[in-house]
């Protein structure tokens, strides 16, 4: 049985050891300092508040995980956490690390050679030098992080379906709300506030957003409407809404899975031919990437992240809009909306991580012309039966009547 056939256990530490054993890596050493490494939190399975000094989690391929924390912080670690050793000063910290890696030939850390994958590269060069000085070679933990912390458990998958269904309903309701209230000169920020209110009533939580972008503002992929400085949504124009959220937790530490979608609409007159052509190019690129993913998975040859980006980019290049596709195709989707697994990227990086079974990603090509931008974003989960689009897939430009 290969690793791809094994479902996540729900315990990241057990899954990490399983991966380490399979790949011949002696251990995974993940470190956090002042909440700069989300992989540490995901591996531990809990966010620990008020940690003030470096804290280390050692997960050997064979053996029990252990923590190393400063004496002032040890009492804040969860009661069910791995056994913890305290240190009082730097010499004791190094001695504790030496004990962890003493017999290891190679150790995985959040290190990315040549900073190829910024999402993976969470430890500084000095930390890598320190561990190498203790004997082992340091290798990237990118794949072990994905395997152990980014595959969805059945409960997490259901939390995602809850969120994406809610987002699909909210975006459709929002387009209708705009059409019914267009005479009130609502701004982009007003609509963003409306969406945030809908999130709360739907049982969703969010860290930031959403994007509500009218006309040329939709040319900015990360436009953030601000109170007092956002456009009024007029009776005639182009509208892009990008919204993301996750189900509110029922208990502390619950890591529900985010959903993230983007839809576009035309207010007033039907879309121009250029708007329709760009929409067709974007949705064609989106569907080409999904088709490649589906074909390769069914062939038993899961693609790497960069390959899906390239498939979509080729479509947009062919349609003559390549210079306006200015970001990666998609990102890892997990507890954080931009999570720590494989990104679909051959533009900002060259992501050679495999899109493995059990993970979620977004597919969201975009074309951003000076006068308007179009992005079509859908969420995809790679399950036992192949990839699945988890929400609604936009196939036509939404028409908002304003008469």
Q: What is the pLDDT of residues 23-52, one digit of tens each?
A: 999 999 999 999 999 999 999 988 888 999
Number of separate domains in the chain: 2
CATH number for 10: 3.40.350.10
Q: What is the pLDDT of residue 135?
A: 97
Paired strand residues for 380: 361, 389
Q: What is the pLDDT of residue 110?
A: 98
What are the backbone dihedrals phi and psi of residue 44, each rounded to the nearest 5 degrees, phi first?
-70, -30
| 288 and 298 co-located in one domain | yes
Pairwise CA distance, residues 344 & 79, whole Å: 38
Please report where in the chains the tokens 């995901």 appear, as a residue. Answer: 42
The whole-number average pLDDT for the span 49-58 is: 95
Tokens matching residue 361:
């990603």
CATH number for 229: 3.90.230.10
Q: Name which residue leads in pLDDT, 291 or 4.
A: 291
Q: What is the pLDDT of residue 22?
A: 95
Q: Name which residue leads in pLDDT, 377 or 46.
A: 377
Reference 169, options 235, 231, 245, 233; nearest CA is: 245
Tokens matching residue 127:
């930390």
| 138 and 230 co-located in one domain | no
Contact 381, 387 (CB under 8 A): yes
Strand order in the sheet with 83-87: 83-87, 66-70, 55-60, 27-32, 106-109, 137-140
Contact 398, 362 (CB under 8 A): no
Pairwise CA distance, residues 348 & 338, whole Å: 15
pLDDT digits (tens, 9 = 90+) for 299-319: 999 999 999 999 999 999 999
Q: Among 149, 182, 210, give the residue marking a domain's end.
A: 149
| 143 and 157 co-located in one domain | no
| 128 and 169 co-located in one domain | no
| 177 and 108 co-located in one domain | no
Using the Cα atoms of residue 148, residue 154, residue 159 and residue 161 in order, give the sign of their dihedral.
positive
pLDDT digits (tens, 9 = 90+) for 228-283: 899 999 999 999 999 999 999 999 889 999 999 999 999 999 999 999 999 999 99
| 131 and 161 co-located in one domain | no
| 369 and 393 co-located in one domain | yes
Q: What confidence category does residue 1 fall into, taking pLDDT thresholds of 50, 70 and 90?
A: low
pLDDT digits (tens, 9 = 90+) for 161-208: 999 999 999 999 999 999 999 999 999 999 999 999 999 999 999 999
Pairwise CA distance, residues 218 & 243, whole Å: 14
| 240 and 354 co-located in one domain | yes
| 203 and 166 co-located in one domain | yes
Reference 365, options 403, 321, 400; nearest CA is: 321
Reference 305, options 335, 321, 328; nearest CA is: 328
Reference 61, options 6, 91, 111, 106; nearest CA is: 106
| 141 and 107 co-located in one domain | yes
Q: Among 96, 131, 149, give the residue marking a domain's end.
A: 149
pLDDT digits (tens, 9 = 90+) for 382-393: 998 999 999 999
Q: What confidence category does residue 3 fall into, taking pLDDT thresholds of 50, 70 and 90?
A: confident
SS (H, E, C) the chain: CCHHHCCCCCCHHHHHHHHHHHHCCCEEEEEECCCCCHHHHHHHCCCCCCCCCCEEEEEECCCCCEEEEECCCHHHCCCCCCEEEEECCHHHHHHHHHHHHCCCCEEEECCCHHHCCCCCCCCCHHHHHHHHHCCCEEEECHHHHHHHHHCCCHHHHHHHHHHHHHHHHHHHHHHHHHHHCHHHCCEHHHHHHHHHHHHHHCCEECCCCCEEEEHHHHHCCCCCCCCCCCCECCCCEEEEEEEEEEECCCCCCCCCCCEEEEEEEEECCCCCHHHHHHHHHHHHHHHHHHHHHHHHHHCCCCCEHHHHHHHHHHHHHHCCCHHHCCCCCECEECCCCCCCCCCECCCCCCCCCECCCCCEEEECCEEECCCCEEECEEEEEEECCEEEECCCCCCCCEEECCC
Q: What is the pLDDT of residue 403?
A: 79
Residues, the chain:
403
What domain range is 98 assigned to? 3-149
Pairwise CA distance, residues 85 & 64, whole Å: 13
Q: What is the pLDDT of residue 9?
A: 86
| 156 and 187 co-located in one domain | yes
pLDDT digits (tens, 9 = 90+) for 102-136: 999 999 999 999 999 999 999 999 999 999 999 99
Q: How far apart are the first and last CA of the chain?
A: 61
| 110 and 180 co-located in one domain | no
- The angle at the Cα of 21, spanning 19 to 22, to the nearest 5 degrees, equals 65
């Amino acid at each position: 049985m290969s690793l791809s056939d094994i479902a996540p256990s729900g315990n990241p530490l057990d899954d990490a050891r399983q991966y380490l054993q399979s790949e011949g890596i002696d251990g995974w050493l993940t470190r956090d300092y002042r909440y700069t490494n989300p992989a540490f939190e995901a591996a531990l399975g809990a966010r620990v508040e008020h940690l003030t000094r470096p804290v280390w989690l050692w997960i050997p391929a064979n053996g029990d995980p252990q923590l190393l924390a400063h004496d002032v912080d040890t009492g804040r670690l969860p009661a069910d956490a791995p056994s913890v050793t305290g240190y009082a000063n730097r010499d004791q910290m190094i001695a504790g690390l030496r004990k962890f890696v003493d017999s290891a030939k190679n150790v995985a850390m959040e290190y990315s050679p040549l900073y190829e994958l910024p999402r993976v590269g969470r430890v500084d060069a000095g930390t890598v030098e320190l561990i190498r000085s203790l004997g082992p070679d340091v290798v990237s933990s990118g794949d072990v992080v994905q395997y152990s912390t980014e595959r969805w458990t059945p409960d997490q998958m259901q939390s995602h379906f809850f969120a994406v269904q809610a987002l699909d309903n909210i975006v459709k309701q929002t387009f209708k709300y705009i059409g019914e209230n267009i005479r009130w000169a609502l701004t982009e920020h007003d609509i963003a506030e409306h969406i945030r209110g809908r999130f709360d009533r739907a049982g969703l939580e969010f860290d930031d957003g959403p994007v509500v972008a009218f006309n040329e503002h939709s040319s900015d992929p990360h436009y953030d409407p601000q109170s007092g400085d956002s456009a009024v949504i007029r009776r005639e124009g182009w509208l892009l809404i990008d919204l993301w959220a996750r189900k509110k937790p029922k208990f502390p530490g619950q890591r529900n899975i985010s959903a993230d979608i983007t839809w576009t609409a035309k207010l007033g007159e039907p879309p121009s031919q250029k708007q329709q052509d760009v929409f067709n190019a974007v949705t064609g690129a989106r569907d080409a990437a999904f088709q490649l993913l589906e074909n390769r998975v069914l062939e038993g040859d899961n693609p790497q992240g960069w390959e899906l980006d390239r498939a979509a980019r080729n479509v947009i290049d062919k349609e003559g809009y390549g210079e306006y596709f200015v970001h990666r195709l998609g990102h890892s989707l997990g507890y954080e909306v931009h999570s720590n697994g494989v990104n679909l990227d051959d533009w900002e990086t060259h992501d050679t991580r495999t899109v493995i079974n059990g993970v979620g990603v977004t597919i969201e090509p975009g074309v951003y012309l000076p006068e308007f931008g179009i992005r079509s974003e859908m969420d995809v989960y790679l399950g036992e039966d192949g990839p699945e689009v988890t929400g609604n897939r936009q196939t036509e430009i939404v028409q908002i009547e304003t008469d």
